[in-house]
Amino acid sequence: QQQQQQQRPVPLKTATTNTLIARHTQRGNKVLSCIKNVPWEFDDIVPDFLVGRGSAVLYLSLQYHILHPDYIYTRIRDLGRQYRLRVLLLSVDITSPERSINELCKTAVMNQLTVILSWSHEETARYLETYKLYENKPGDTLQERVSDDYLTQLSNAMCTVRGVNKTDAVTLMTTFGTLSDIFKAGVNDLRLCPGFGDAKAERLHRAFNEPFVPDH
């Protein structure tokens, strides 16, 4: 399909599950030369890249899309619904891509594709590698984690007040000693903490004294 001129030696067929598979038509795609972290090989597949058992990638350069606007629709139709995750990997290589991206994003919503944008070959290659390497990684690592160290917990709580930072949390802790005493502090005590402006002192004081349930 793209840049057929540059021929590369075909890697040996070592069809293991750890291998990223590229479609034959991708031969010569410069992205392939940037793939360093996973083994890859060519095979006869419907999508452009197969990055996992259930994950397929269609690759499209926006330059190519401008020249051949119908191409991608054919590919999407051919791909069908057979993969769990279908990624449309767009390479942004034109100067004002807004219109094309809008159009393709809309198409992706209608055809249940996940759009990923990339701005360079390296970035595209990194996405492909990451998809392959993370094939079996659980999504849990994206979940919220809270550190259990005292100072971190304290500053987490204090920093929910607008304008309060870590330094202030340390200052509060060292000035008052315990969280109870911080909550009980008068506005003037807060005001006299080094580095505290009046706005900050008042905001904190308000937060500590404001009833949870406002009186109506």
Partner 1 sequence: CVVCRASVCAWHEGLAASKMETKRASLLPFQARPFLDIVGDDGLLVLGRGLGLERICLALFRLYCDPSSLVVVVNASQHIQDLAVDYLHEEKVRPRIITAETLAEDRTQIYLSGGVLFVTSRILIMDLLTKRIPVHLLTGTIVLNAERVIPMSSEAFILRLIRYANKSCFIKALSDNVEGFLSQQHPIEKVLKCLWLRRLYLWPRFEQSILASLSEHPAQFEEVRIQMTPLMVNIQHALTDIVLACLRELKRIYPALTPESMDFERGLASSFEKLLRRQLDAVWHKLAKRVKQIVIDLKTVQTLIMLLVQQDSVSFYHFLRTLRATDSAYNVNSYWLYVDATDTLFGCARSRVYTTVKEKDAGGVDKTTIFETPESNPKWSALLRIIHEIGEPNGVATSRTLILVEDPSTCHHVQTVLCEGADAVLRQKLFKLKKWQRDFSKLKSEIVGNKPSVAEGIRGDQKANLGKRRRTHSKVSPMGAEHSDLPDEPLDNQPDEAAELLITVDPEQDFSTNFGLLEEDESNLICVFPWKYNLGVPLSQWLEEYRPSHVILYDPTLTAVRQIEAYRAGSIGSPCVVYFLVYDSSLQEQQYLTSVRNEKEAFEHLIKFKASMALPVDQDGRSGIRQVHEQSLHQRDLGETSTRNAGKPLAALPVKVVVDVREFRSALPSLLHERGLDLHATTLLVGDYVLAPEICIERKSIPDLIGSLNSGRLYKQCVAMTRFYSLPILLIEFDSNKPFSLLGSGAVGEFISADVDSKSVMSKLTLLTLSFPQLRILWCRNSHSTADLFASLKQHYAEPDSERAAAIGTDSTDEPLLREGYAPTPFAILKKLPGVTSKNIRKIIENVRSLKELASLSLEQLQELAGAQNGLQLHRFLANTSKK
Mark 16-45 with x for binding to partner 1 (rule: CB under 8 A) and - for no binding.
--------------------xx--------
Stretch that binds partner 1, among 6-14, 23-31, 71-79, 141-149 (CB under 8 A): 141-149
> Which residues from 59-98 bind partner 1, rule CB under 8 A?
84-87, 92, 97-98
User: Per CB under 8 A, does 186 bind partner 1?
Assistant: yes
CA distance 60 to 89: 6
CA distance 32 to 8: 10
User: Per CB under 8 A, does 109 bind partner 1?
Assistant: yes
**Residue 9: both structure tokens together:** 């030696």
CA distance 135 to 108: 22
Beta-bridged to residue 85, according to DSSP, are: 55
Q: Which member of 68, 74, 151, 163 binds partner 1 (CB under 8 A)?
A: 151
Given the complex with partner 1, which of 24 and 99 has the nearer CB atom? 99
User: Which residues have C-beta within 8 Å of that of residue 122, sequence separation ≥ 6?
Assistant: 34
User: Per CB under 8 A, does 126 bind partner 1?
Assistant: yes
Do 83 and 113 form a contact (C-beta atoms < 8 A)? no
Given the complex with partner 1, which of 12 and 213 has the nearer CB atom? 213
Q: Which member of 8, 53, 68, 206 binds partner 1 (CB under 8 A)?
A: 206
Q: Which member of 15, 43, 157, 163 binds partner 1 (CB under 8 A)?
A: 157
First and final C-alpha spacing in the chain? 69
Do 26 and 32 form a contact (C-beta atoms < 8 A)? yes
CA distance 103 to 32: 27
User: Per CB under 8 A, does 158 bind partner 1?
Assistant: yes
